Structure 1
């Protein structure tokens, strides 16, 4: 699948189709190629835009939410998008989306947060989860990213032996190939190291001040499914329950950001709701486009 028109920089895509612009801010380490089903369903009536944050070379090499907002502004101006947009933020992309909405509420027709990182993510640090911390703490993740960032693309290919999830394997072969290639980009891991380094500081900044009263739909993952997936991976159930209960509470809290908010639990979906339940994202866009 090729989203980019030849005249467009590689770092972003624009379907250039008619209709309300829908901008997708992807999660950390995620490609917009994963959104294939959502994009194909929406593009007949919407203009879909997105970008890969790690492929933008300008700036000081530090990737924070503010840097991503500059990229988004460049995307919108470079694509001549002047009207209000429907903004979708998944995971870390949701943190970026919340800051952009606070800074530029006049540019938002509607906001969709898909299992979004919370501005209160520091609350996860208070949990007693030593086993999970050993494999997924910020420090452990950054150390891994820094190691990957100094390797070549070919070295990463040999080291990671990229594999796709079951949901990703349902996508067209060209999309699968692009996703495998995406996982072997050293710049991707350098970016993630920087994003994790600063995300709690950025979250604290975004948390301050009122949130504009824009139409909002918050979609959270299925806690029980996520717990069972973790158990199947050999992780302790008590720690998994602590994390999922806290994560669910933080995501649910996002539905109090505005007076025009709805909350949806994506039954049968893990963190990658756009892959497991694309229908929920599509229906959210459709609902906000008529409000």
Structure 2
């Protein structure tokens, strides 16, 4: 009987400790988001308040568009590494972090207005370069097509395939392969239990220690996943907007792809069995190169040794690609 008593007491202690941990995590998250970080500032207009960070003075202007559900802080080391002779902007869309909106509707044209607002607040009238990652490429494609005179060139990192419906069908048809909404719900559950304060959200990647707290707090905030699911659910509509917009301009377009084996290992680490991950990898390889057709000046690079999150595993390569894009544009201007 005494042994049973100790077992019950231990279970009660563990459960109490777990609930206390979750309570403390929630308090920490509330305190963190109560006051905005001094790393960035706000642009606000028409019921929208966009939290963004800008680094550098003068020179070329680069706007970084992060993927759905991610934190702009993941890009701050790259933003810093580009140097002070350029102006580099990162931003959180409404519903993430400190960015807010009176309207929950997600549209590509709405994002374009938000970016225009940030540029206006910074009094930037010159042409810009666009860097976009993952699902963030859909917003970049619309902006480039609808603001052709404003964009000098673009760098797309691990972009979502042009044939999104075919990619979505492929995910649905493969066993034990969660779609993006299911993956977001799974992450939201982990965030609600404080898991990302113990285990970081990116398995197999190292976060920059300077901004690790910003990233952990972002992925620990459960409300961010509501926004994430809302954006994902609107992707079909956003692709419709892109189709209705003007054609993508014939600008220099550089595309960075993850290495096939590294991408598959990422998926396996995140819970997909290896057979399904390899099926998905073959389908991704088949569909992903279509984006090269956007511009006659498209080129690509498969980043050796990098999985899904190239900006975290190989930031130096992205910095180099951005600098090359700027320097080549300057050379073209002179000739």
Query: Per-residue displacement from partner, 1:34-59 (whole Å, max 9, x unpaired)?
Result: 11331121032211111111243224
Unaligned runs of 5+ in 1: 149-154
Q: Secondary structure at the match of 1:131?
A: coil
Partner of 1:17: 57
Task: State the structure with bigger RCO (CA 8 A, min sep 6), 1 or 2.
Answer: 1
Partner of 2:147: 104
Alpha-carbon RMSD across the aligned residues, in angstroms, is 2.8
Query: Per-residue displacement from partner, 1:190-214 (whole Å, max 9, x unpaired)?
Result: 2111111110221233135522101
Change (3 A) 1:254 1:63: same
Q: 2:224 aligns with which of 170, 188, 191?
A: 188
Partner of 2:182: 140
Structure 2 Cα separation of the partners of residues 168 and 96 of structure 1: 26
Partner of 2:175: 130
Structure 2 Cα separation of the partners of residues 244 and 112 of structure 1: 22
Kept after mapping to 2: 8 A contact 1:84/1:108: yes
Change (3 A) 1:253 1:10: closer
Structure 1 Cα separation of the partners of residues 255 and 43 of structure 2: 35
Q: 1:281 aligns with which of 301, 318, 322?
A: 318
Change (3 A) 1:2 1:242: farther
Change (3 A) 1:168 1:81: farther
Kept after mapping to 2: 8 A contact 1:86/1:111: yes
Partner of 2:17: none
Kept after mapping to 1: 8 A contact 2:181/2:229: no
Q: How many residues align?
A: 281
Partner of 1:235: 272
Change (3 A) 1:171 1:139: closer
User: How big is the shift at 1:183?
Assistant: 1.4
Per the normalisation by structure 1, the TM-score is 0.85
Partner of 1:225: 262
Partner of 2:138: 95
Kept after mapping to 1: 8 A contact 2:161/2:289: no
Q: 1:261 aligns with which of 276, 290, 298?
A: 298
* Higher Rg of the two aligned structures: 2
Partner of 1:152: none
Structure 2 Cα separation of the partners of residues 219 and 41 of structure 1: 18
Kept after mapping to 1: 8 A contact 2:253/2:295: yes
Unaligned runs of 5+ in 2: 1-36, 330-335
Q: 2:119 aligns with which of 55, 71, 76?
A: 76
Kept after mapping to 2: 8 A contact 1:220/1:248: no
